[in-house]
Chain A
Amino acid sequence: MSKRNPELFDLIEGYLNDRLNDTAKREFEERLAADVDLREEVEKHRELHQAMLDEDAIRFRKKLIRIENEEPNIQYPKEKRFVFNWRIAAVIAMVLGLGLFFAYLNTTSEKSLFESHFSVYPLEDTVRGNQQEDLQSAFETYGQEDFETAASRLETVVDKMPDAHELRLYLGSAYLKIGQPQKALSEFESLTNSTSYAEQAKWYKALTYLKMKQNDKVIALLDDIIAFDGIYKNDAMNLYENLNKQLNPDDF
């Protein structure tokens, strides 16, 4: 076999895709019959083409690589930062007086706790690849963090596809981002009995109540999520601990 070059690749690809004319095909087959290395090369191209047609597996593998490369302790840094801020806050409180300290807590800590724990329901490659145009455009704006537009487009799609439960997690997340927790709550509540998304819905419902400062409801939901021992258990335990610190600062 001659050294690899663009012409050889074009010839092999033409042969495999049945694009050679009769003469070129016959000549190439004669070369193949006489050249074991060329036969092996053609086989590699054939296998490569076949392997590449399985886009779904490649997408899945890509996602696994991304997960494998993630930092192992990525879930916890915010918690540590929060403890540190408490110490600073305590010094300020000593200087400015307890009254001012609690006023500061009431106005800001709830907000920062929500922001520390909330991230929108993540877009998956599988949904990004969806062919439906209006859904595609809703996910596009969601991915670009234009949550106003994403919410309005998702509303339209959810109306058309009421059984597409996962979409409600995206819509609810977008509502939370644009400060409409009541609307978000109704989306998450509609999923509480769904078989596939009940746990996700509970977690986002807990965050919505956190945003609405209804801490009793947050705690009840977190208890539930922790007892369920599912994929949100660690998130729920972190939030539970931080919320407890905020509600009972003397215990810490």
Chain B
Amino acid sequence: MARWGMVIDLDLCTGCGACEVACKSENNIATVPPDQAEMGRAISWMKIQSHLEGEFPDTGVLFTPRPCMHCDNPPCIRVCPVGATYINEEGIVGQIYPRCIGCRYCANACPYTAKYFNWYGPEWSPSERRHLNPDVSTRPKGVIEKCTFCHHRLQKAREEARADGRDLREEDYQPACADVCPTRAITFGDLDDHSHRVAELTEDPRAMRLMEDLGTRPKVYYLASRERNAP
């Protein structure tokens, strides 16, 4: 049984934001109007967090791309009164949009603020609807959503592999963000499969996870050499 996980090399991340937009395109994430965005209601399953420090000319920054950590011990699912967020046998934490009652308890329980709420329904003009990804359902107003590790891609990859009568290969299942990163800062794969790069990268001395002390056991690892990188 695979344990899907991600390794993000912060030394390679340039904060270009391609992963953010790729995710929005892949997962049908709508924009919100200006006033809403300023209230903090913009949705970005993958979020580049820039941590600035120092004044000119000694300014420094740390770009931290933040998807859902797909914790092995996710605080978010335990608190959900209706089981609308769950972890599957391959360690992917998912949402059941039609069941979510929108209490936002999971959002409060997530230490990584990885969850987003649909304060209003998504807004797609009829012409824009044409570029929606048919593999991913849009979310109605009033429910929680978050990074899914592009789970639908896994399902498709599986079907294709089955059709070709072969096993799933590492490159068959790559989420959109990892796909597009121009510096290849994002690596994705099966943490338990030693033929996958992620497995070896997690051994890297630079490897660390966010808030490991909380015991959430995230499946997203970060590689950071620069001292100040340690969040």
Are A and B a genuine interacting pair, yes or no? no
List residues of chain A with CB under 8 Å of any chain B CB.
Answer: none
Binding site for A on B (CB under 8 A): none
